[in-house]
Amino acid sequence: MTPPEASTSNAEVAADMPAAGSSRLDVLKKRADFLRAARAKHIPTKGFVLQYRARGDDAPMRVGFTCSKKVGNAVARNRAKRRLREIAQAILPHHGKHGTDYVLIGRFERTAQRPFTDLLDDLRRALANTE
Res. 125 pLDDT band, cuts 50 70 90: very high
Q: Would the pLDDT of 21 be above 70? A: no
Q: Which domain holds residue 92?
A: 24-128
Which of residues 131 and 40 earns the better pLDDT score? 40
If you average pLDDT over residues 4-16, what whole number do you get?
A: 48
Closest by CA position to 67, among listed 56, 55, 79: 79
45 found inside a domain:
yes
14 found inside a domain:
no
33 found inside a domain:
yes
pLDDT tens digits, one per residue of 44-55:
999 999 999 998
Q: Are 106 and 70 in contact (CB under 8 A)?
A: no
12 found inside a domain:
no
Look up the pTM and report it. 0.79
Query: Mean pLDDT lowest for which of 15-19, 24-28, 77-81?
Result: 15-19
Q: Are strands 100-106 and 62-66 parallel, antiparallel or unpaired?
A: parallel
Give me the numbers of helices (H) and strands (E) for the chain, helices first please.
Answer: 4, 5
Q: In the prediction, which pLDDT does 25 show?
A: 83
pLDDT tens digits, one per residue of 57-110:
888 899 999 999 999 999 999 999 999 999 999 999 999 899 899 999 999 989
CATH number, domain of 87, equals 3.30.230.10
Closest by CA position to 125, among listed 45, 60, 67: 45
